Amino acid sequence: MLKKYVLDFQDIEKEDLSLVGGKGVNLGEMAKIPRVRVPIGFCVTTEAYKKMLEQYPEINELLEHLTPLTAEDIEQIRELSQAIRETIEKTVIPPDVLEDILRLFLNFGENFFYAVRSSATAEDLPAASFAGQHDTYLNVHGQRAILHHIRKCWASLFSERAIVYRIQNGFDHRKVYLSVVIQQMVYPEASGILFTADPITSNRHVLSIDASFGLGEALVAGIVTADNYKVREGKILEKTLAEKKVAIVPLNNGGIDKREIATSQQKNQTLTDEQILHLENLARKIEGHFRSPQDIEWCLADGVFYFVQSRPITTLYPLPDKMDGNLRVYLSFAHQQMMTDPIRPLGISFIELLHAHNLNRAGGRIYIDVTHDLASPLSRRALLGSFRKNDPLTHNALVAFRERKIPLPKGKRMFSMGGGRFSWGLPAELIKLYRNNDMLLAQQLIAENEASLKRLESEIQKFSGDELFAFIEQDQTELLKLLSNKKSMAAIFLGLYAASWLNDKMDKWLGEKNAADVLSQSVPNNVTSEMGYALLDVSDVVRQSPEAVAYLETAEDEKFLEALEGYEGGKATSKSIRNFLKKYGVRCSGEIDITNPRWIEQPSALVPMILSNIKNFEPNARRTKFEKGRKEAKEKEQELLRRLERLPQGKKKANATKKQIDRLRNFIGYREYPKFAMIQRYFLYKQALMKEAAILAEKGILQKKEDVFFLNFDEFRKAVRTEKVNLRLIEDRKADHIHFEKLDPPRVMTSEGEIISGRPIAENLPADALPGIAVSSGIAEGRARVILKMEDAVLEKDDILVTVFTDPSWTPLFVAINGLVTEVGGLMTHGAVIAREYGLPAVVGVENATKHIKDGQRIRINGTEGYVEILEEETQKGPI
């Protein structure tokens, strides 16, 4: 096949990405849009770049040295970058490539001036823009200069910043090639950048234009503050006029220079209102052609708009999948579940089987449509009330949206007092339980679930193929019945009510803040905190065998339990871990996603926690810690009752308080159980389904059995029935999942893509303190350990855990820490509940905590008032 070394913009097709890179393809596409003007030009293709590489094998040798490096290997990256760039800039362009370049260049006219710009094959893509990573040269004149700058563009593929960006985004240096755009210069009176979705709010209906005088290089380089115009559907919403002191202008003999703008013109509006609206119209045409929000570079010359680049905006959070054209408001399910990682399609399917009402997918997460709830005064009150204390950031965002007084459609509501999948019709059960304070109810409910689980374990083994899917679908009714059991929900609500009552009344009567925190320590029936204590017992068994400990310090294979039995004391150690897994092995980080590997599937996840317990605690720590918490709770109870009895009507207040303390300690621990029950059931489903997945893999229908995680429930079922599967769909969803992992999901968003934020929660805080939500009383100082993955945690006593979120699987870490800081969470989310039971000061909802706080810094957290202070900038090095 004849190799194409050059392509005119008019000849570029969508399929030519590998030839001309992202920028080149987009220029070719824009050049075909009616009434959209693109300065003429051509691309030197990646085939020309590859031909150059063939002539200089020493470049490939240098690339081999880049492959094993990480983004932290700065010095080696710097040295290799310089060596590769110097080599490329000294190359001689191959004769056949040179011939094709000069043919088109002379055809366009050698007397004109040109922009010479890089266009990599991993550039301006939907999931990675690579913006600013490669070089651009403006106002280049003459054959010799053009060829020189082509080589400089090739070399820019290996600038330090481009190398690091590729490493961070997982691109292979040897598989990214570079095309060079040669485009005739336009000499504008104004230029700039526009976004067809507001880059601040992400609203897809609001277009944002930055405009300044002269070439756009001044704006790109950050040496001028541009005007900004916000436009929506032919209406200018907002104009911010800047003082534009300088402009970049072309020089007569080539190159560019910075010039001062006359003082009298510096504050002039760069574009007229008519031009702003015309530019919006053209930008929407471009956006419509590419079918996604665009980041567009434009210039205005002689009253005509020209476009020199368009690329997808890669930072926007995806829109929800179900939209009807009306304005809708969505609430993050992920933030309420304390698991903001993306969930794979099969995992989302299982959540949807239980929660059919108003669920939407966006960015691999689930969003709940609360539009109708906000439209109804009664449901709005219930919705806002549920978040006021539990998640103030979500509450404030919803309030901020309502303050706009935007009319919303009415319809079926999530928070109607008797509707939805989970009925709120509980008054009778609540009253009954409130009066009798049934001490045995929690144990009775747990026993009922265990019996149901045994029935499921027996029954599910009878089914395979399509019948298995039908059985699992039918069993959702049983699971829903367990989760929405009125007695169970009454027990949970009564525990929450007692905590709220105690906090309110003790603050009002005694000035005692968050009294329920201490009173909640070492309560019965908390399956999650019991799990943390149980791992301390496991650690006590392991510590008795030095050989087992030494082996675990190096064990990586998931079959380590078998190997462990070959060491002295290994059988007892292995048995202890297996017994723990038998009860708690269904848990894992991100357990709400059925596709995530459970501890029983990946037991090595427990090893760092076991070793940490051995290092940080004396034997019999379980009893010591539990008794300490129980004693502190009892002492707090006695202290409160004594103080109350001294008050007017003290006996009455003390009696009422005693009853609420009993209710709190009886029911607050049970709150953690229903989720555990659901996760137990999910694992039985998963075991059965993975047998079907294994059959598909054995038959070659799937590459590996785990590929089913990227099918939804119905697609998986169809694959089993038909023995056919769309492998391309699976690969696309894997790529989407990797992209979704890099996104931060908003708490509240609209169907227009706008991310809604409310007022900050900071009030009367120390200077420079990071505000959050106080969820577990006390003050703690210590070394911050910023941990993003539970399996990476190596903690020392008195460390303060700083992370994005915690779910029940993180509980064993809590026994070793001095305090907790999370970005996500509220008063009754997992981390808060367990922190109170363990007596740990905790602050949650600290936005961007893992970015503001550096690993190893000394910090102080105030779990009573709700803030974090960074005490020193110097980091204390230690294991992570």
List residues with catalytic annotation. Answer: 830
Non-local CB neighbours of 434 within 8 Å, separated by 6+ positions = 494, 663
Return d(Cα 774, Cα 846) in angstroms, integer: 10
Task: Please report, as a single letter, which amino acid is at residue 239.
Answer: K
Q: Cβ distance 185 to 112 under 8 Å?
A: yes
Non-local CB neighbours of 515 within 8 Å, separated by 6+ positions = 502, 503, 506, 507, 636, 640
The closest alpha carbon to 272, from 209, 344, 329, belongs to: 209
| Pairing label, strands 779-786, 800-803 | parallel
Q: Cβ distance 856 to 873 under 8 Å?
A: no
The radius of gyration of the chain's CA atoms, rounded to the nearest angstrom, is 31
Non-local CB neighbours of 308 within 8 Å, separated by 6+ positions = 27, 38, 39, 115, 183, 186, 216, 297, 298, 299
| Count of C-beta atoms within a 10 Å radius of residue 255 | 14
The closest alpha carbon to 208, from 288, 293, 269, belongs to: 293
Return d(Cα 106, Cα 625) in angstroms, integer: 82
The closest alpha carbon to 362, from 231, 205, 204, 169, belongs to: 204
Token look-up 């078998």 returns: 562
The closest alpha carbon to 311, from 293, 294, 287, 299, belongs to: 294
Q: Cβ distance 561 to 876 under 8 Å?
A: no
Q: What are phi and psi of 722, to 5 degrees?
A: -100, -15
Query: Quick one: DSSP state of residue 318?
Result: P
Long-range contact set of residues 848-854: C-beta below 8 Å, sequence gap at least 24: 848/823, 849/770, 849/772, 849/802, 849/803, 849/804, 849/821, 849/822, 849/823, 850/786, 850/788, 850/802, 850/803, 850/804, 850/823, 852/770, 853/770, 853/784, 853/786, 853/802, 853/821, 854/784, 854/786
Q: Cβ distance 807 to 589 under 8 Å?
A: yes
The two structure tokens encoding residue 290? 């590419």
830 burial level (CB within 10 Å; 0-12, 13-18, 19+): buried
Query: Quick one: DSSP state of residue 128?
Result: B
| Count of C-beta atoms within a 10 Å radius of residue 343 | 27
The closest alpha carbon to 129, from 259, 293, 12, belongs to: 293
Question: Could you give the angle at which helices 160-169 and 74-89 cross, rounded to 10 degrees?
Answer: 120
Q: Cβ distance 232 to 273 under 8 Å?
A: no
Question: Could you give the angle at which helices 345-354 and 713-722 cross, rounded to 10 degrees?
Answer: 110
How far out from the chain centre does Cα 487 lie? Answer: 36
Q: Cβ distance 204 to 752 under 8 Å?
A: yes
Return d(Cα 712, Cα 702) in angstroms, integer: 15
The closest alpha carbon to 244, from 215, 279, 270, 273, belongs to: 270
Helix/strand/coil for 573: helix
How far out from the chain centre does Cα 242 lie? Answer: 35
